[in-house]
Amino acid sequence: MGLDDGRASLAAKGSVPSDQAVVAARKKIDDTASRISEEVQEAWNSWTSEEIGSLPVSRIPMLDRERQEEALSVHEELRRSARSSSINPALFAARRERLRKLLEHAQEAPEQLLALLSRLPLPLCDLTDEDIRLFREHGLDREIEVRRKGA
């Protein structure tokens, strides 16, 4: 039953509120709906951020190439859903579970690899032969691109 339906019901009983009262009631309803929507969005943002943060995504480099691609894709889907104003907890939870299952048996990435990944992007002159070997050893050599500045 909407506001107009309620007004029509009151009119049928001979007790119609003034236009001013109806406008004031509609504004209160709109304000409340807006406040609830903001609170839900804040709760969604907080929850999704917590859920994504709890996933051991540092293990992604330790997966085989096919599973790495899938994990990266699902991780990006999760991040997109978290930023979306269209809230779908069931879809988010299904994606989170998919990524969790992909990562559950993967080993932790070595600190040296994580440190190297955190330094990117960086100039080629700052990469050592050992850094390149580490990328290759963990199947990340296809993920790294060399580009010329200004080109």
Per-residue pLDDT tens digits for 83-92: 888 889 999 9
CB 100 within 8 A of CB 52: no
Retrieve residue 109's tokens.
């990435």
More confident: 5 or 110: 110
Residue in the block written with tokens 């269209």: 86
Q: What is the pTM of this model?
A: 0.66
Average pLDDT, the chain: 88
